[in-house]
Structure 1
Amino acid sequence: MAEQMIPADLLALLRQVDTPTVCNAIEVAQGRRGFNRFTRGTMLHSRPGEPAMVGFARTARISGLAPPQEDPEVIRARRMDYFRSMAAGPWPAVAAVEDVDFPNCVAGWWGEVHVAVHKGLGLAGAVTNGVMRDLDVIDEGFPVLAGSVGPSHGYVHTVDIGAQVDILGMRVSQNDLIHADRHGALVIPAEIFPTLENAIRTVITSEAIVLGPAREPDFNIEILERVWADFEYART
């Protein structure tokens, strides 16, 4: 599937760096602190060692704590509409699925079958406040960042498709660009796409000012005072 809207160099770089680095870089690109479009609290990652997932959000909401009240045919049709939505839109893509039962989620939407299906449709991963399962048998190459792990699918069904969702405090709209890894997830503001690559490289270069000397055997407070001043100047 063709990748759209993100320059190839930027996309490659985003896949190489972790989400905290991108979070810092967004503030560099914006010229101020206070960026807050990220998840809160500790999330669980299906494959902690895998590279970051990067993609445009395909949003949906699910529920599984109680049986659906709608006609079964409506529920079945909506699930297929869900898959159609996941398969359409800008690429690369990440599923952003809110479980409306949070914090009492029981529905393991992200298990062996759904991981295989979403991966087969071309998505790069999933972010959810809900449940994942089948951790020993789900496909590699499709990371899931979830709010919890559990054994059941409950009464899981799709509630709606394409609306804004809330994933542990991170508001996500359809086609927002998501970056996520074992630390959590964030939404990259579209207006900084043109400057984000330089901002990421600025973060990496400025941190090296301190990291290099700090890892040398002769590091001491005098060296820290000198390099920290350079670090402060570089990152502002």
Structure 2
Amino acid sequence: MELLTREQLDALAQFDTPTICNAIEGFGVRSRTEGFTRPELRMRAAMSDKAMVGYARTGVISARQPATPAHSAVMEAYYRQYEDFDLPMVAAIQDLDRVPVGSFWGDVQATVHRALGCIGVITDGGVRDIEEVKKVGFYLFSKEVLISHAYIHMVEAGTAVDICGMTVRPGDLIHADAHGAIVIPQEIAGQLAEACVRAMDAEEALKGPCQAAIARGEKVTAKQIMEWRGEMQRRRAAIAPQR
């Protein structure tokens, strides 16, 4: 797997997730109904006004029953995933509890993970200490906000997980902002920033004339819209570079 550079990751962080999604669609490498989260994933804290972009490290948690001594080894294996890797990483954590009751995430784990080189988490479980986590400089994306950590413990580490309908495997490249999270296909990751520019340019074919008409105080016609929409579609068809 060819990794992106920090500069390439930062370039992707300049775009919002809908633009990333539009650009990915232009390559036709997967179904348009796959690879992103359902609406229940919400941003709770952000490191900056840029999107979160990083390589996934995965784990599965539960909080309804106490941990056993064997779970300590799973916890260590989970943390080991972050070693010997110098690019930004993202935790992708699946909660086995049908109704989450205990949070793995608060200011303690946010601080620990920042020290490991992890910049944020996506989880279908819960988070807490939101204001304190903001001070740490850590992204929180979760389904729930919780009070207690209950009997929280790590059940699995380094396996494929499901986060709000999105399958995440260790090493997947994740992009997330207030809209949700998306997995960027590795085979097009290096071309995606330029494709995002082309995706935005395609929308301008329709938005630009409409904005100009609004500024002039004029109404447009259905025929004009369809003409401009046709140009937008032609530009969208050229989002992926010709092979």
Give the TM-score band, short-chain normalised.
0.7 to 0.9
Q: TM (normalized to structure 1)?
A: 0.88
- Relative distance call for 1:42 and 1:221 in structure 2 (3 A) is farther
Counterpart of 1:157 (choices 147, 153, 159) is: 153
Query: Which ranges in structure 2 are unaligned for 5 or more consecutive residues?
Result: 238-243
Q: TM (normalized to structure 2)?
A: 0.86
Query: Which ranges in structure 1 are unaligned for 5 or more consecutive residues?
Result: none
Paired residue type of 2:228: V
Is 1:42 the counterpart of 2:40? The answer is: yes
1:27 alignment counterpart: 25
Paired residue type of 1:118: H
Cα deviation, residue 35, structure 1: 5.0
SS of the aligned residue for 1:174 comes to coil
Distance 1:185 1:21 in 2: 12
1:84 alignment counterpart: 80
Counterpart of 2:123 (choices 112, 118, 128) is: 128
Distance 2:31 2:207 in 1: 22
Distance 1:14 1:194 in 2: 10
- Relative distance call for 1:55 and 1:229 in structure 2 (3 A) is same
Cα deviation, residue 140, structure 1: 4.5
SS of the aligned residue for 2:37 comes to coil
Q: Write out aligned runs for 1:50-129 (5 A).
A: 50-68=49-67, 70=68, 72=69, 74-89=70-85, 91-102=87-98, 104-129=99-124
Which region of structure 1 is more displaced relative to structure 2, 163-172 or 209-218?
A: 209-218
The number of residue pairs the alignment matches comes to 229
Paired residue type of 2:71: I
- Runs of 4+ aligned residues of structure 1 deviating over 6 Å after TM superposition are none
2:241 alignment counterpart: none
Cα deviation, residue 8, structure 1: 4.6
- Relative distance call for 1:215 and 1:65 in structure 2 (3 A) is farther
Cα deviation, residue 89, structure 1: 3.9
Distance 1:51 1:158 in 2: 30
Deviations 1:197-219 (A, max 9, x none): 23211111111222233333235
Counterpart of 2:16 (choices 2, 8, 18) is: 18
Q: Write out aligned runs for 1:79-228 (5 A).
A: 79-89=75-85, 91-102=87-98, 104-138=99-133, 139-216=135-212, 217-218=215-216, 219-222=218-221, 223-228=224-229
Distance 1:125 1:176 in 2: 14
- Relative distance call for 1:191 and 1:126 in structure 2 (3 A) is same
